Every structure is written in C-alpha cells, then in structure tokens.
Copies of this chain bind each other. A is one copy, B any other.
Amino acid sequence: METLKYLLPEDRIPEAWYNIVPDLPRAPAPVLHPGTRQPVTPDDLLPLFPMGLIAQEASAEPWIEIPGEVREVYRQWRPSPLYRARRWEKALDTPAHIYYKYEGVSPAGSHKPNTAVPQAWYNKQEGTKRLATETGAGQWGSSLAMACAFFGLECKVFMVRVSYDQKPYRRALMEAYGAAVSPSPSTETESGRGILAAHPESTGSLGIAISEAVEVAAKDPETRYSLGSVLNHVLLHQTVVGLEALEQMEMAGEYPDVIVGCTGGGSNFSGLSFPFIGRKLQGKGNPRVVAVEPAACPSLTKGRFAYDFGDTAHLTPLVKMYTLGSTFVPPGFHAGGLRYHGMAPLVSHLLDLGLIEAIAVQQLDSFAAGVEFARAEGILPAPEANHAVAGVLREALRAKEEGVGRTILFNLCGHGHFDMQAYIDYNAGKLKNYEYPAEEIALALAGLPAGVT
C-alpha cells in the first residue's frame, strides 16, 4: 500500500518552540511605544500581557521550552498528521508530490489552539482572571474560548460585526465553551463608540476589534489581552507545526522544494515555514517559501514596509510591517481570518530579507481549488486555507507543464465546517472577485504615522 499519512508518536511532540530571530542575518526593527516612539520596555506591555509571554516576545534564545501542562493539552491532537495528497495528485495528473500538514484535527478545528493554550496557561500562572480578544471569522475566538475553559479563565471576545451576523455558528461554539461574545464595533468601549459615532453602519474589521479588546484589557487589572497572530510569541508557539513536519518529511524520505501557507496575520504560515527557513539559514536545504494572501487584502504584495499601528484606534505599539494602513477596512470576502491590514513583523522582515516570496489569489480561484481538493482528499478546507490550496495548485500545475517532479508542502491550517455559508454562496454563484482597492489603500497609507522609519 502507498503511504498516505505520516504520524509521529506522542513523545515526539516538540519539547521546545523554535525562535527564528537569533538565526536571522539582521535583527527585526524594534517595536516602538506609540507615545514616546522609543522601543517598548517589558513594563510598557505588562498591562496587556503576562511576563512569560513578554519574555518570549523579545527573546534571543533559539529554543524556548514548552511547559509540561501545555504539552499535556497539545497531546490531545498533536503531533498532527502529515498527509501525502495522493488522490489529489492523481486528479491533477501532476508529477509533483504534495504533502500537507493538517491542523484541523484540533478540537476547535484549526491551528489556533497551538497558541491559545500556552497563552491561557501563562496568563493563569500570573493570576489573570479574564482574557479579552478579537476574532474575525471565529477560528481564533473559539480556540481561545476553549483554552480558557480548560484553565478556568473567563473569556471576552469582540467579533467583527460582519462575521458575528453572518457566522452565528462560530459564535455558538465560543458560547458553548463559555465565552462572552460581542459584535464589534460595540458600545462597550470608547473605541467602539467612536467608530459607531462616525460610521453607524460599520461592519467592523480586525483592526477595530483589536482596539476594543486592548482597551478592555488596559482598563481592567484582572483582564489581559490575547492576540491570535502577528506577534512574535504567537508565531513562536505555532512552530510546533513545522518542527513536527520536519520529522514527518524525513519519515516520508523527502524534503520540500516549495513550502506554501496562507497569510492573514502570518501565524500558520510562520508555524510551518520558520523551522525550515531556520535550517536554510544554517545551510540545510533550500526550499522556496511562498506566502499566499487574498487579492483583496494584499499587504505583502501591495503594502508598504513601514511602522504602523496594529489596530484602528491606535492603542497598540508601533510595529514595522507590510501594511495597507491601519484605517484600511478590507472588503467583505469570506476568508475573515485574512482580513487584516498588516502582517506579522517577522513575516514582513523575512520578505524584506528575500527569504520568502508572496503571491495574491482571487476569492473565486481559492474556492475552486478548495472544492477540487475536498472531492479528492475528503477534507473541506476553511476559506483561509483555500488560499494555500490555490497556491499549491499553481505550483503543481507548473510542475506538470514543466514535466518536473517537485515536492510541495503546505499547511492545511483548518477545516471549513463553520464556513459552509461561504460554500453555499460559492455554489450559488454569489461569490465574486474583488478589484484591488487602490484608492482606499492609498488613503490609508497616507495616514501612516510620520517620523518613524
């Protein structure tokens, strides 16, 4: 029989997360305090994050030990399987070998619990009673809600209004886990009230929801803030994905020529690729690494590499990243997890260093690829993951055209069970592609903070 699945035993869950920063040829730009424009200190961040996570955010250590209790929870779904997509390869008639790491096996259905669990754990250790966060499509909110339930923390989620209204099922999952969920912009925060005063019909954005959650955390000493992507410590936690994949590719007896992941804030892409890029920096292997983003929110392919705020109300520190401008509200395409104006500073830095590539794909192409994948492999990807699938499809068809065998590895970061309305709309011909929103982006970029480069 041909091998479909590469499984690691439980004791091969990584014992440490991999921090790519010390391996980089040039250090990333520092995070700046929004008032002083000076590098932030740990004390600046303490109202928002526990010291355990702040230390990781700035760490120069290449390996950071995973706490035992976190590994114990990880063991419920980790090591996640690595699949060879043999049926899809056959359907495509491609000489490429396609492998995917499948993170939909977590109870919340995506890679997000990889960081939700340690974030909840470190907060619990330092006495946090409640975590506040934002969520777009709901993958992150449901993952944090679950992690909070495991460790006995309260959880408050600001859910982007358009998703809150259109995706009641993700909200129901968060509520089943015991979280309190509000649509954002809400009347519960100054940030939310400000947005609603200016735009009473606002459908929200991740940038706005972040402002609300940060504000709640900053004002209540028992509440801290939790972010599902973008930050260094979040990307760090996701490296369990790539560390496992390294071993699993070894089991398969192959090494990737191309690594593909979708990018919204950057966490699933980084989780898979950083361990491979780290090896590349050490002279081991030389895969191309391709980030796939939505054409309607193209921070990496059309954004500017500049200091910007992580949120719309400008409550966060300034980070240097590829950004479309913090006031840019992406159009309402279905991959809600990719509707973010910026990109993780580390991912941005890697693009700037030429260590990764980026492409943008249109919504209809992403769904067409996802449906073909589902019919071959059984797993229906989340709309976010469809972008990665579409990127892989391009690579696989190019390999076929060129008649060249090629090993492609991608991160299937979540299933689409909670996103079926998107598939209903796609099937009914109601989804569309989006023009590049050039004017809105130009306007938002004109508002970038001045005087910092």
Contacts and interface: CB of A to CB of B under 8 A. Distances in A.
Interface of A: 1-5, 7, 9-10, 68, 71-72, 75-76, 83, 87, 105-109, 113, 146, 149-150, 168-169, 172-173, 175-178, 371, 374-380, 415, 417-418, 420-421, 423-424, 427
B427 A176 contact: yes
A363 to B, nearest CB: 16
Nearest to A1: B72
A340 to B, nearest CB: 24
A308 B146 CA distance: 46
B4 A7 contact: no
A423 B176 contact: yes
A1 B71 contact: yes
9 contacts: A5-B75, A7-B10, A87-B150, A109-B417, A149-B375, A169-B424, A172-B427, A176-B374, A177-B375
B76 A4 contact: yes
Given A4-B76, A173-B380, A378-B107, A420 B418 contact: yes
Contact of A424 (B4, B113, B172): B172
Closest 10 CB pairs of A and B: A107-B378, A417-B417, A169-B420, A172-B420, A149-B375, A172-B424, A107-B379, A172-B423, A4-B75, A146-B378
Given A106-B378, A109-B417, A168-B424, 10 more contacts: A1-B75, A2-B72, A3-B10, A4-B75, A5-B10, A107-B379, A149-B375, A150-B376, A150-B378, A177-B374
